[in-house]
């Protein structure tokens, strides 16, 4: 008889997209349910059924803790009812503050809890829940701010990617003869700066090298404005806000600019695309910079702090890539080595073995 598994997720795409991937990994081996908050629903397609629970945001203001704790009583009671009604045997949480009441409820009911931490620093919600968890899934055992006494709970896996990302062609171009194909993944955080910087960079860079641009833009208004500028430049380009089919064309590009969210970087590495990382400087605990440092240590990317960034620095890098193929090929070869280890079936087996542990 299949065990009943609840995947708890919410908030941002960085929490919800991995949750959906876990669902796809485990749906044939467990009876899987998804629980999210209202914010998380916008990332879930009609292919998945889910339930919604409201959770107040956990504040860092000590004076508001008593009020927030009182407000958490209701979602904890709802979570207790939900877990008992669904007869849940296991809870897999992908983080975010909405996971707090469901994990507290699971602990009260004696249900095994597995956490997921894709970042190079443990998230605050995961840190609060860690002592109750049986295991925590991580991409590395070297996690900043991780309590030493709980190190044995770390279960290392390769980055979690949607199954489609294993089915389409990867980048094979490591020679820049006449053109550079650039994919730009800005994300939602600090989008104003990112969009403006990239626009200025493309305008300047296109005068020196031939470009083909695939660019994520933050709003329809921005798409309209940037489109007008690129058309005047006779630039080869495609703009999008969110593209659920990005995996089908990503392999056509050989360099990326990106914020340093864990999922975005893992997807680029899987497609053998070295990237220029510009971490969002106001991310909690500077986790994007720490994420990027991991890939820099593997020689897969370049990192630039936003406050130190300039058009001149990036242009100099791009020109060095054109002038000396080895500058890029070292990074390309490193992405190939990393992506070779990431295999859907291997991760699937690891997850099933973990969830079936006593």
Q: Provide the pLDDT for residue 66.
A: 55
Does 129 share its domain with 174? no
Does 170 share its domain with 153? no
Evaluate if residue 81 carries a pLDDT over 90.
Answer: yes
The residues facing 137 across adjacent strands are 116, 155
Q: Quick one: which of 54, 57, 50 has its CA closest to 37?
A: 54
281 neighbors 308 (Cβ within 8 angstroms): no
Evaluate if residue 192 carries a pLDDT over 90.
Answer: no
Q: Provide the pLDDT for residue 244.
A: 77
Does 145 share its domain with 65? yes
**Can you give the residue range of the structural domain that contains 202?**
166-341
pLDDT digits (tens, 9 = 90+) for 117-138: 999 999 888 999 999 999 999 9
11 neighbors 97 (Cβ within 8 angstroms): yes
Instruction: Tell me how far apart the terminal alpha carbons of the chain are, to the nearest angstrom.
Output: 16
Average pLDDT over all residues of the chain: 90
When pLDDT is averaged across residues 42-47 and rounded to a whole number, the result is 88
Evaluate if residue 255 carries a pLDDT over 80.
Answer: yes
The DSSP code sequence of 220-231 is: HHHHHHHHHHHH
Q: Provide the pLDDT for residue 59.
A: 52
Q: Residue 285's pLDDT band (boundaries 50, 70, 90)?
A: confident
pLDDT digits (tens, 9 = 90+) for 143-154: 999 999 999 999
Does 189 share its domain with 246? yes
Does 32 share its domain with 177? no
When pLDDT is averaged across residues 337-349 and rounded to a whole number, the result is 91
When pLDDT is averaged across residues 23-41 and rounded to a whole number, the result is 94
Q: Which of 27-41, 209-223, 261-275 has the lowest mean pLDDT?
A: 209-223
The number of angstroms, rounded, from the C-alpha of 197 to the middle of its chain's C-alpha atoms is 22
99 neighbors 128 (Cβ within 8 angstroms): no
Does 153 share its domain with 170? no
Does 262 share its domain with 295? yes
Evaluate if residue 64 carries a pLDDT over 50.
Answer: no
- What is the pTM (predicted TM-score) of this model? 0.86
Q: Buried b / exposed e across 298-322, counting CB within 10 Å, b at 16+?
A: eebbbbbebeeeeeeebbeebeebb
Evaluate if residue 11 carries a pLDDT over 50.
Answer: yes
Does 183 share its domain with 86? no
Does 152 share its domain with 210? no
Task: Give the CATH number, domain containing residue 141.
Answer: 3.40.50.2000
Does 188 share its domain with 95? no
Number of domains present in the structure of the chain: 2
Q: Residue 68's pLDDT band (boundaries 50, 70, 90)?
A: low
Higher-confidence position of 220 and 178: 220
Does 153 share its domain with 210? no
What percent of the chain has pLDDT above 90?
A: 66
Does 95 share its domain with 71? yes
Evaluate if residue 352 carries a pLDDT over 70.
Answer: yes
């Amino acid at each position: 008889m299949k065990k009943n598994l609840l995947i708890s997720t919410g908030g941002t795409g960085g929490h919800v997209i991995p949750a959906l991937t876990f669902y796809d990994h485990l749906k044939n081996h467990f009876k899987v349910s998804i629980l999210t908050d209202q914010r998380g629903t916008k990332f879930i397609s009609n292919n998945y059924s889910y339930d919604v629970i409201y959770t107040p945001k956990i504040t860092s203001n000590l004076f508001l803790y008593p009020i927030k704790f009182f407000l958490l009583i209701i979602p904890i009671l709802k979570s207790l009812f939900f877990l008992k009604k669904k007869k849940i045997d296991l809870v897999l949480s992908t983080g975010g503050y909405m996971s707090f009441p469901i994990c507290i409820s699971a602990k009260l009911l004696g249900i095994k809890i597995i956490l997921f931490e894709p970042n190079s620093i443990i998230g605050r919600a995961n840190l609060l829940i860690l002592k109750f968890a049986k295991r925590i899934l991580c991409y590395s055992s070297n996690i900043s701010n991780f309590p030493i006494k709980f190190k044995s709970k770390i279960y290392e896996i390769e980055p979690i990617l949607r199954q489609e990302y294993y089915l389409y062609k990867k980048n094979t171009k490591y020679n820049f003869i006449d053109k550079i194909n650039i994919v730009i993944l800005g994300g939602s955080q600090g989008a104003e700066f990112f969009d403006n910087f990239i626009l200025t960079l493309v305008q300047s860079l296109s005068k020196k090298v031939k470009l083909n641009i695939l660019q994520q833009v933050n709003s329809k208004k921005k798409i309209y404005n940037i489109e007008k500028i690129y058309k005047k430049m006779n630039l080869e380009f495609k703009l999008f806000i969110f593209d659920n089919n990005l995996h089908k064309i990503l392999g056509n590009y050989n360099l990326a600019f990106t914020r340093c969210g864990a999922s975005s970087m893992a997807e680029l590495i899987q497609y053998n695309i070295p990237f220029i990382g510009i971490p969002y400087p106001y991310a909690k605990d500077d986790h994007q910079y720490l994420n990027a440092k991991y890939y820099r240590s593997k020689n897969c990317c370049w990192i630039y702090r936003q406050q130190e960034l300039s058009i001149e620095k990036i242009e100099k890098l791009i020109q060095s890539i054109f002038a000396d193929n080895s500058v890029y090929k070292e990074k390309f070869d490193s992405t190939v080595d990393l992506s070779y280890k990431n295999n859907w079936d291997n991760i699937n087996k690891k997850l099933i073995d973990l969830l079936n542990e006593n």
